Amino acid sequence: MPSTTIDGTVDRPTSGASAAELAAQLREARARLLAVTEDLSSDQLMGPKLAIVNPVRWELGHVAWFHEYWTLRHSHGQAPLIERGDRLWDSSNVAHDTRWDLELPDRCGTLAYLADVLRRQEDHLARGDAGGDARYFYELSIRHEDMHIEALAYTRQTLGYGRPAAFDRPPPRSAGPLPGDVDVPGGTWRLGVTTDEGFIFDNEKWAHAVEVAPFRIARAPVTNREFAAFVDAGGYRQRKFWSDAGWAWREKTGAERPVYWQPNSGDGWTWRRYDRVEALRPDAPVVFVSWHEAEAWCRWANRRLPSEVEWEVAAVGEARESGMRLSDRKRRWPWGDATPSRNTANLDFAFDAPLDVADCPAGDSAFGCRQMIGNVWEWTASDFAPFPGFAADPYRDYSQPWFGTRKVLRGGCWATSGRIARPAYRNFFTPDRTDVFAGFRTCAV
Ligand SMILES: [Fe+2]
């Protein structure tokens, strides 16, 4: 039973997963969490003090603590397993720059805590006493682990650690570019979710009407080749392509090109990927660019970023028969109802690298946009703001503290769980971040 409000409205819907399915999801997420961290040395598990990363050992304990807090303690009423746990791992109360200096359990102790919490969760699920609202908190804590798995993957990139040794994924296939725009008609769009979406986050609630004017949007995200033309044209040195905030960011960072790019000895570019320098795939989407860089590229190319509602319409909207107006229909996924597969979306580390933008043609939206889900997150023009009537869910710090200072990204990347990368999911980061798996797609001006 999902939680219901006093007038009977479903307030916190769940996916409908059974207790056995939740247990399987817990184990599957845990296997991936360990795979993305188990080969790191003790020094790497702590790493340097940076504003954009957590110490990996802290992050592992925090994942266990979050599960314990919301399922074992909040839902099942148990006492804390580690007396000082809240003082170590409650991210709302433990200041970021103190996380390196805490008396954290060692690697063995941290892994034992993760295992202990999981075993107790499995026991509750097997006994059948995780009904009612408890299901919501199991789903929340599984998705929280999914998010930290993705964060740990980009932390490895940020810190120049090796590619996770446990990941044995196929290399990207050659698929080439996908130039051109598609026409999307205007109309009234219901932005946000309804109660039949399954598990959702507070910032997606609830569907509300937004008028959308007709627009033209690219079939694919901006590629490395397209972004290199801007770099090669001296775009990073010309003030006119940058907003005031973007230019201030550029001067502060001294950026001359995307953060991991390096000049090739001949011509062209290579990039650092994990701990190696690799050739840049020209037809793969540019990734690890800030919102400011995306905006500057747009100004140079006489393009613009889509708003988040335009992005959502292009991804899951359909035209009426006349083709002149949007229909009321919203697809579950861009390609229809089928759950994502490696033919439709590069998610769940299917490839552990961005595919060329022409790849995954089976995942096209009704309007012919490709890779709206997976491969790289896409910056939108929109500020991260609450939808009308917003009310925080029990995990109060998920959205609320970040409204007004972040930009919305949509669509997920190759390291995102398919549980997270629903078309309605709103990711959010400050516009200066270059460490997340973000690229962008553009609209005609
Ligand atoms: Fe967290």
DSSP tag of 382: E
Mean pLDDT of the chain: 95
Is the per-residue pLDDT at 6 higher than 70? no
Is residue 388 exposed (0-12), middle (13-18) or buried (19+ Cβ within 10 Å)?
exposed
**What is the model's pLDDT at position 379?**
99
Query: Mean pLDDT across the stretch 89-109?
Result: 96
Query: Distances from the Cα of 14 to the Cαs of 63, 137, 195, 236, 424, in angstroms?
Result: 21, 9, 9, 46, 15
Query: Model-level pTM?
Result: 0.97
- Please give the distance, rounded to the nearest whole angstrom, from the Cα atom of residue 394 to the centre of ligand 1: 14
**What is the model's pLDDT at position 9?**
60
Question: Rounded to whole angstroms, how far apart are CA atoms 420 and 142?
Answer: 10
**What is the model's pLDDT at position 170?**
80
- Please give the distance, rounded to the nearest whole angstrom, from the Cα atom of residue 140 to the centre of ligand 1: 11
Q: Residue 32, SS3?
A: helix
- Please give the distance, rounded to the nearest whole angstrom, from the Cα atom of residue 232 to the centre of ligand 1: 39
**What is the model's pLDDT at position 10?**
72
- Please give the distance, rounded to the nearest whole angstrom, from the Cα atom of residue 55 to the centre of ligand 1: 12
Report pLDDT digits (tens) over 125-155.
999 998 878 999 999 999 999 999 999 999 9
- Please give the distance, rounded to the nearest whole angstrom, from the Cα atom of residue 61 to the centre of ligand 1: 10
Please provide residue 395's backbone torsions phi and psi, each rounded to the nearest 5 degrees: -80, 80
**What is the model's pLDDT at position 350?**
92
Q: What is the CA radius of gyration of the chain?
A: 22
Buried residues in 202-241 as b, exposed as e (16+ CB within 10 A): bbbbbbeebebeebebbbbbbbbbbbbebbeeebbeeeeb
Is the per-residue pLDDT at 121 higher than 90? yes
Report pLDDT digits (tens) over 164-178.
877 778 878 899 999
Is the per-residue pLDDT at 284 higher than 60? yes
**What is the model's pLDDT at position 165?**
79
**What is the model's pLDDT at position 1?**
45
- Please give the distance, rounded to the nearest whole angstrom, from the Cα atom of residue 315 to the centre of ligand 1: 28
- Please give the distance, rounded to the nearest whole angstrom, from the Cα atom of residue 104 to the centre of ligand 1: 16
Strands 303-304 and 276-279: unpaired
- Please give the distance, rounded to the nearest whole angstrom, from the Cα atom of residue 203 to the centre of ligand 1: 16
Q: What percent of the chain has pLDDT over 90?
A: 91
Q: Are 53 and 158 in contact (CB under 8 A)?
A: yes
Is the per-residue pLDDT at 254 higher than 90? yes
Query: Mean pLDDT across the stretch 24-33?
Result: 98
Report pLDDT digits (tens) over 188-228.
999 999 999 999 999 999 999 999 999 999 999 999 999 99
**What is the model's pLDDT at position 323?**
85
**What is the model's pLDDT at position 173?**
86
- Please give the distance, rounded to the nearest whole angstrom, from the Cα atom of residue 24 to the centre of ligand 1: 21
Is the per-residue pLDDT at 297 higher than 80? yes
- Please give the distance, rounded to the nearest whole angstrom, from the Cα atom of residue 179 to the centre of ligand 1: 38
Report pLDDT digits (tens) over 369-393.
999 999 999 999 999 999 999 999 9
- Please give the distance, rounded to the nearest whole angstrom, from the Cα atom of residue 352 to the centre of ligand 1: 22
